[in-house]
Amino acid sequence: MSRMPLPYNPKVLELFRNPKNLGKMEDATVVAVAGNPACGDMITFYLKISDQEVIEKASFESYGCAANIATASIVTEMIKEMKLEDAWKITWKSVAEAVGGLPSIKFHCGILAVGALKRAIRAYCKNKRLSPGWLPEELSFEEKQALEEEELSRILSKRMRTEE
Amino acid sequence: MIENVKELLKAHEGLKHEVYLDLENSSTVPKEVIEAMLPYFSQRAYGNPTLTHKPGWEAFETIMELTQKIAHFLGCKTLEEVNFTPGETEANNLALIGTAFSMKDKGKKLVISEVEPISILHVTELLQKYGFKTTKVPVDKEGFINLEKLGEVVDKETILVSLSAANHEIGTVQPIKEALEIVKDKNSGTIFHTDASDAYGKIPFTVKDLGVDLATVSSYKILGPRGIGALYVRQGVNVERILEGQIGTQKLWPGVENTPLIVGFAKASELAFQNFENNVNHMQKLQDKLLAGIFGRISDVKLNGPKGDRRAPDNANVSFLKCEGEALTIELSLSGVYVSSGSACTRRILQPSHVLVAIGRNFEEAHGSILMKITRYHTEEDINYVLDVIPKAVERIREITGSTGVE
Ligand code: FES
């Protein structure tokens, strides 16, 4: 319940102020969501993927904090023109690094962003009935974390409702 | 880390107007208060008030005279009823732990409400580790304590009830007198404490009228310096010390008295009380203007806490739906408007403000909550500026939210 000091770095602030690739994409090939509207933290990724499995465009919407907005924004930049296989290799750590580091309490916001990206890639492959060798069956760390956060918020909001 | 903060501050350069509304979390100290304090650092009364020399006696004289002043504003019977502490947190710790110590043989039960400040909530959690039990009385949608429930939970085992007089987050002015009667009816031996930090200087009351046993007041909540507050302890009520050390003029708080801070606290009290009605009317007028402006300009907004007379005159707490609060505080800061949020994103354990949860706000509503407090020094222009900035900021953050979370 306590608050924390949040010395966001200039990169995070810049991406927060001028996010790149913000907004819904009408012609997206795949859309993925991570987080839970019940707890607030929530992110949507839109990807346009070519038949050659290259990400042509990426955009996002975020219902989260500045760290979430910044990491999501930079992910959409990082994966542009990337092959799905390479995009899959992006980890939340590399994203956190790309924004110049995150306060530890905000790691989960970056994880959520990457979780949404990996879900999008997985969903695309599933839709296309592809099972490339680089896509493990087991969920990635970020996907698992996103699931965990969603589960936690479901429990919390359920507890709140029953207390009413 | 510090480099980052320097950069963040640089991003604020060139602001043409700044309005500080985060009075919940610290205060701006007016010039008169600072000027009153200054001589007491090195020109006079800088001695230890318990010692036998001129600067010491000056300090003693100063502290006694100013204690008298604060005792008067609070409506105390005697000077000894005012006990200075380093702030609201410490006064609340002293009230709860000090009473638990002195009453431990009479019972082990504490009663608070679901909307008490952290310095009450966490202290009861601490006491639970030492065998005390806490019952939390629920509140309604506006934050008012359920008096019926209060009557049900107070029993022979209950040694202390603590209910804040005005809620620090949503401004609910509690019916303390009624609550006290209910409590004493059930158990005349129960000690009744109220954290009156958000009522002192804003809502007319005296400890005598309320009839409470213990009351916390804080300097910074009335624009005094931080680091000083007081616990009113009614004559005859026994609270034990929770810290040990050299005892001076303050029997419940050891250590050397901080005379300049006491001077600042007394001066701030004087300023709050000398034009009490005007001050309150001014705050209320700007509060109305701010809330009406927000509701008139922005859609999907909810007021947290009650309306009208049953709300503290300085408090404005609103939820902007589809707009995450931490992001909004940063956006507002970049335009020179300083506020805080009850969003889970601003908390260490990612749970929204317990006060908002207690009044039935869901996570989403708490997510976009903003707390603002108005002082007698704010002007119409300040509020106009805030009303110019907030709609733009909300619009920009809502743009980022887009359709996320819309089912
Ligand atoms: S999205 Fe809630 S803390 Fe970052």
A60-93 confidence digits (pLDDT tens): 999 999 999 999 999 999 999 999 999 999 999 9
Give the pLDDT of residue A164: 39
User: Quick check: A2 pLDDT over 90?
Assistant: no
Cβ pair B110, B135 in contact under 8 A: yes
Q: What is the pLDDT of residues B284-314, one digit of tens each?
A: 999 999 999 999 999 999 999 999 999 999 9
pLDDT top residue among A156 and A56: A56
Kindly indicate the confidence band of residue B151, based on its pLDDT and cuts at 50, 70 and 90: very high
Backbone angles phi, psi at B103, to 5 degrees: -115, 10
Distance from CA of A102 to the nearest CA of B (A): 10
Cβ pair A42, B404 in contact under 8 A: yes
Structure-block tokens of residue A114: 């990457």
Q: Rounded distance, CA B82 to CA B65, Å?
A: 12
In Å, what is the CA distance from B280 to each residue of A119, B149, B342?
54, 32, 25
Domain boundaries, chain A: 10-156
Summary mean pLDDT of chain B:
96
Give the pLDDT of residue B344: 82
Q: End-to-end CA distance of chain A: give it in Å, rounded.
A: 20
CATH fold of B32-273 reads: Aspartate Aminotransferase; domain 2 (3.40.640)
Give the pLDDT of residue A39: 61
**Angle of CA points B123, B125, B127, to nearest 5°:** 70
Structure-block tokens of residue A128: 């296309």
A·B CB contacts under 8 A = 120
Q: What is the pLDDT of residues B181-238, one digit of tens each?
A: 999 999 999 999 999 999 999 999 999 999 999 999 999 999 999 999 999 999 999 9
Nearest CB to B5; choose among A2, A7, A42:
A7
Which residues of chain B are in CATH 3.40.640.10 domains? 32-273
Kindly indicate the confidence band of residue A125, based on its pLDDT and cuts at 50, 70 and 90: very high
Place of tokens 């910044």: A70
Ligand 1: which of B326, B330, B341, B404 to mutate, judged by most atoms within 8 Å of the beta carbon?
B326
Share of chain B above pLDDT 70, in %: 99
Give the pLDDT of residue B228: 98
Cβ pair B124, B135 in contact under 8 A: no
Which residues of chain B are in CATH 3.90.1150.10 domains? 2-21+276-401
Q: Of B120, A5, B363, A107, whose CA–CA distance to B353 is shortest?
A: B363
Q: With contacts defined as CB-CB under 8 Å, which chain A residues touch B399?
A: 22-23
Q: Which atom of ligand 1 is nearest to the CA of B346?
A: 3
In Å, what is the CA distance from B150 to each residue of B112, B139, B146, B284, B319?
9, 10, 6, 30, 29
User: Quick check: B129 pLDDT over 50?
Assistant: yes
Q: What is the pLDDT of residues B337-359, one digit of tens each?
A: 999 998 888 876 678 899 999 99
Ligand 1: which of A42, A63, A65, A95 to mutate, judged by most atoms within 8 Å of the beta carbon?
A65
Q: Rounded distance, CA A50 to CA A59, Å?
A: 15
Contact A8 B4 (CB under 8 A): yes
User: Quick check: A163 pLDDT over 50?
Assistant: no
Catalytic residue among B345, B350, B380, B381: B345
Place of tokens 């952290």: B118
Contact B347 A2 (CB under 8 A): yes
Q: What is the pLDDT of residues A137-146, one digit of tens each?
A: 999 999 999 9
Q: With contacts defined as CB-CB under 8 Å, which chain A residues touch B324?
A: 40-41, 62-65
Kindly state whether A62 is in contact with chain B, defined as any CB-CB distance less than 8 angstroms. Answer: yes
Kindly indicate the confidence band of residue B4, based on its pLDDT and cuts at 50, 70 and 90: confident
What DSSP element (H or E) covers B137? strand B133-137
Q: Of B236, B260, B263, B241, whose CA–CA distance to B251 is shortest?
A: B241
The complex's ipTM works out to 0.91
In Å, what is the CA distance from B162 to each residue of A110, B114, B335, B360?
41, 11, 39, 21
Kindly indicate the confidence band of residue A1, based on its pLDDT and cuts at 50, 70 and 90: very low
Q: What is the pLDDT of residues A40-65, one digit of tens each?
A: 689 999 999 999 999 999 999 999 99
Cβ pair A33, A56 in contact under 8 A: no
Kindly state whether A164 is in contact with chain B, defined as any CB-CB distance less than 8 angstroms. Answer: yes
User: Which residue has the least CA distance to atom 1 on ligand 1?
Assistant: A64
- Determine the average pLDDT of the residues in B233-248: 97
Kindly state whether A65 is in contact with chain B, defined as any CB-CB distance less than 8 angstroms. Answer: yes
**Is residue B345 annotated as a catalytic residue, yes or no?**
yes
CATH for B2-21+276-401 is 3.90.1150.10
User: Considering the entire predicted model, what is its pTM?
Assistant: 0.93
Q: Of B228, B325, B232, B317, whose CA–CA distance to B268 is shortest?
A: B228
Kindly indicate the confidence band of residue A7, based on its pLDDT and cuts at 50, 70 and 90: confident
Best CATH choice for the domain A10-156 from the list 3.90.1010.10, 3.10.590.10, 3.90.78.10, 3.90.650.10: 3.90.1010.10
From the candidates B363, B395, B397, which should be mutated to test the interface with A, based on the most A CB atoms within 10 A? B363
CA B383 – ligand 1 centroid, Å: 29
Distance from CA of B104 to the nearest CA of A (A): 28
Nearest CB to A61; choose among B327, B345, B404:
B404
